[in-house]
Amino acid sequence: MNDAETMIEVVDLHKHFKDLHVLRGISTTVKQSEVVAVMGPSGSGKSTFLRCLNRLEEPSSGHIYIEGVDILAPYIDINRVRTEIGMVFQSFNLFPHLTAIENIKLAPMSVRKLSDKEAVDRGMALLEKVDLAEKADTYPEQLSGGQQQRVAIARALAMQPQIMFFDEPTSALDPEMIGEVLDVMRNMAKEGMTMMVVSHEMGFIKEAADRILFLVDGEVVEDGTPDHIFNRTTHERTLEFLSKII
Amino acid sequence: MADPASNKNGTARLADLKAKAGYVPVIRRNGFVYAFLSLLVLYAIFLLPAKGSPETLDLGRIILFCLLLLVWAILIFTDELKPEKMKTVIVFTIFIIAAWLYYRYSTARWGEMGFLFFNLEMIQKAWPTLVEGFWTTLLLAVCAAIMSTIIGLLLAIFRSFENRVLNFFIIAYVDFFRAMPIIVLMMLIYYALPFMGIRLSAIVSGILALGLNSSAYVSEIFRAGFLSVKKGQIEAANALGLNPIQTMRYVILPQAFRVVIPPLVGNYVASAKDTALASSISIIELLKAGLSQKSLLANPSPLIFVTALYLIMFVPLTRFSGYLEKRMKASQRQVRL
Ligand SMILES: Nc1ncnc2c1ncn2[C@@H]1O[C@H](COP(=O)(O)OP(=O)(O)O)[C@@H](O)[C@H]1O
Ligand SMILES: [Mg+2]
């Protein structure tokens, strides 16, 4: 894996919310096609970490390189960087005034300047991929949670990003819908997408993740393979956390 | 009597509840009370001067009469054991009695009503002026609406940047124009600004005053609309690489507009009604046209006609904005479910 291209490099990342020191010096590297799961107790800074990487939150200090580009440099057009990173949220955040296909084609048309036909073609192919082609003209409020999240994934993929971030993509779903979303993510992982996934879905992580970053109080306390973290860790906080979620 | 607990009859259960709450309906249902009050009312009527007598209605008698009616009405209406139909009949009876008394004892010249108030000939004479006044009113309303929408929207957008200095000025602007009576603003612009070298025509002054006032409200309406768009929506748009302008145009505005339209229409209607104030700075809009023709023809018919016209214009509009509001509330409920 060492010869693979480095997609994300984070160096000593800090984030403060006023007096709250949320991220305390995170450094890590994510290589092309790597799937990194981010785990840790609630409030440990997982979401903040991901959101700093596409600057939905402004990092307080540190360096972030996406495909070698220093995205904290003052001359950077952050919107260009963001087109390279797809993001999927816990609460889906589909645009309620647009149908599924309109949700998907909005960014390709407005940002990438694709024609309507190109965008629709691309969007339909993606809906096909998440198995929702027949719901193209449906508004989000008429879709189930699992369907909404799959549309949200298709929407992110429509920008043809190099990297995908998932922030607890299945936490807001009823149990019977979690599988359909994880299936889509599993396929993406197989196709070689570089992914960072905040999730506590053990089955998915064991199967799809190459690495687990274990965050506690804004620090990476462990960084290893799923096998290592789940079976051989001796770290006290990790064991404590794992005992709670299994 | 049946066991109250097992009685499914609504009235009986109501009575049961009232008994528990210490409600005593006996006195209210006592026929003597009504008879006594009715007599008092009749007495008050006979106290009134006879028709044609030089004596006119004096305030004391009117107040006494109204008070008696009020007590009588309250007693009847708070008696929940009386059927609705009976209450309705009583209300109409009271109205008819009052109208009859007014007709009989007021100094109005009833025989000349048609000539005075609904004189088609007079309206015909006033017609050209009234039509012109109508167009002026429309011009004022439409221009003020356009102006307030543009300014209000821009202010709301600037406000959403959450820049402290900018916000200070915007809040000051909104406070100033919401606090300032429109008529004062009109006079300031039309009569005071010329001393500062700014000479505006009456109509421009009127539009400016109405538009500035309305823009303060419109900016607050749009701001509420923007705030109603969830933070996650903006984040999703940003994460897709949409720049702030694209986010505003494709994500925030379309969602905000849905929320904003009912209060916005309501605001336009209110602002359109305020056009009548423009008569104070010599603009011949609908009201002024009616007034001037009333003086010219020495007949109030044009004024009555103008009143009717206002009603014809604004009853449907207020209805419409009420309907929009109701529909939005219904759709919100649907989304939340
Ligand atoms: N916008 C914010 N303002 C202030 N505090 C925040 C904000 N976002 C997150 N936090 C705080 O930062 C900490 C980490 O939050 P988060 O990254 O959401 O944790 P996680 O996703 O691991 O549950 C929490 O204590 C949270 O309260
Ligand atoms: Mg989180």
Q: Cβ-count burial of B287 within 10 angstroms (0-12 exposed, 13-18 middle, 19+ buried)?
A: buried
**Confidence bin at B334 (pLDDT 50/70/90):** very low
- Mean pLDDT for the stretch of residues B108-128: 81
Structure confidence by residue, pLDDT tens digits, B125-157: 888 999 999 999 999 999 999 999 999 999 999
Residue with tokens 């449907």: B316
**Confidence bin at B6 (pLDDT 50/70/90):** very low
The Cα–Cα gap between A232 and A221 comes to 15
Cα–Cα distances in Å, from B48 out to B35, B44, B90, B275?
Answer: 20, 7, 22, 43
**Confidence bin at B46 (pLDDT 50/70/90):** low
The Cα–Cα gap between B140 and B197 comes to 24
SS3 readout for A58-82: CCCEEEEEECCEECCCCCCCHHHHH
For chain B, which residues make up each domain, given as ranges?
15-108, 120-336
Provide the residue type at B99 as one letter: A
As a whole number, the mean pLDDT across chain B is 82
Mutation choice for B interface testing from A79, A143, A164 by most B CBs within 10 A: A79
The Cα–Cα gap between B196 and B139 comes to 27
Q: Residue A47's domain is classified under what CATH number? A: 3.40.50.300
The pLDDT, as a whole number, for residue B98 is 75
- Atom of ligand 1 minimally distant from the CA of A167: 21
Q: Which ligand is nearest to the CA of A57?
A: 1
Lowest mean pLDDT among B96-110, B139-153, B170-184, B258-272: B96-110
Provide the token pair at B300: 């109030």
Stretch 136-195 of chain A: residues touching chain B, C-beta under 8 Å: 141, 152, 155-156, 159
CA of A70 to the centre of ligand 2 (A): 25
Q: What is the widest separation between alpha-carbon atoms in chain A?
A: 55
**Confidence bin at B58 (pLDDT 50/70/90):** low
Provide the token pair at B128: 């050209």
Structural domain count of chain A: 1
Q: Which domain holds residue A172?
A: 3-245
Question: B291 or B23: whose pLDDT is higher?
Answer: B291
Q: What is the DSSP letter of A5?
A: P
The pLDDT, as a whole number, for residue B298 is 87
Structure confidence by residue, pLDDT tens digits, A116-139: 999 999 999 999 999 999 999 999
Is B250 at the interface with chain A, CB within 8 A?
yes
Res A1 pLDDT > 70 = no
Question: Which residues from chain A sit within 8 angstroms of residue B254, using beta carbons?
Answer: 97
Residue with tokens 């109508």: B134
Q: Any residues with Cβ below 6 Å from ligand 1, and which?
A: A 17, 20, 22, 40, 42-48
Cβ distance of A89 and B240 shorter than 8 Å: no
Global pTM exceeds 0.90: no
Q: Rounded to the nearest 5 degrees, what angle is found at the Cα of A33, between the Cα atoms of A42 and A217?
A: 20
Question: B109 or B165: whose pLDDT is higher?
Answer: B165
Q: Rounded to the nearest 5 degrees, what angle is found at the Cα of B208, between the Cα atoms of B184 and B214?
A: 80
Enter the CATH code of domain B120-336.
Answer: 1.10.3720.10
Provide the residue type at B120 as one letter: L
The pLDDT, as a whole number, for residue B3 is 47
The Cα–Cα gap between B289 and B126 comes to 8
